[in-house]
Amino acid sequence: MTTTTQSAPQAGETCLCREVLRRVDEVFGLKSEAARQHLRNSRIEFLKAIRSLIDERIEHLSRVEQPGTKVTVE
């Protein structure tokens, strides 16, 4: 009997990365530990990329508009 916890959501959590990995496993039948390790590492990098995009968006939305200055024209 083989048990797999890799694609099982925890406490109702759904993760796009886990779902993709599960689908790849269904299609290709991941038997290679090297392939599994590469996919685990890519999942981490994917999540870091999402975090970076979120951080950039937060920074963009947090910027305070600089008020314009009045210039007297003679």
For 4-45, write each residue's pLDDT tens digit.
445 454 566 677 777 887 888 888 887 788 888 888 888 889
pLDDT at position 2 over 80:
no
Q: Is residue 40, in this structure, part of any structural domain at all?
A: yes
Distances (CA, A) of 47 to 3, 8, 22, 28, 29: 25, 18, 17, 23, 24
Per the confidence metrics, is the pTM higher than 0.85? no
**Rounded CA gap, 23 and 16, in Å?**
11
Q: Is residue 39, in this structure, part of any structural domain at all?
A: yes
CA–chain centroid gap for 39, Å, is 13
Q: For residue 51, give its domain range.
A: 16-61
Q: What is the pLDDT of residue 37?
A: 87
Count of the separate structural domains present in the chain: 1
